[in-house]
């Protein structure tokens, strides 16, 4: 669309529409799909699987209580 616009025909009349996509709200899998990336969906491959704390992939099966974990903050 940036170069030459989008050509549309309606009622036997040719129209050219110029424009650009400014924003596309999407979650991570949808955004990856829009960008043409073919990533595995999910967190099975992640080193730190938990969104709320800093538990590692190796520790996640050993931790029995959440009070022993470091909570994620904006700085981390």
Q: Which residue has the tokens 């029995």?
A: 64
1-20 pLDDT, tens digit per residue, is: 557 888 899 999 999 988 88
First vs last C-alpha separation in the chain = 39
Phi, psi of 57 (to 5 degrees): -60, -40
Tell me which residue of 41, 64, 60 sits closest to 49, measured CA to CA. Answer: 60
17-53 pLDDT, tens digit per residue, is: 888 878 888 877 777 777 777 666 666 667 677 767 7
Tell me, yes or no, if the pTM score tops 0.85.
no
């Amino acid at each position: 669309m940036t170069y030459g616009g989008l050509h549309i025909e309606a009622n036997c009349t040719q129209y050219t529409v110029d424009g650009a996509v400014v924003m596309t709200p999407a979650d991570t899998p949808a955004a990856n799909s829009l960008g043409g990336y073919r990533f595995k969906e999910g967190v099975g491959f992640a080193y730190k699987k938990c969104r709320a704390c800093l538990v590692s992939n190796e520790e996640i099966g050993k931790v029995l209580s959440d009070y022993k974990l470091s909570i994620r903050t904006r700085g981390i």
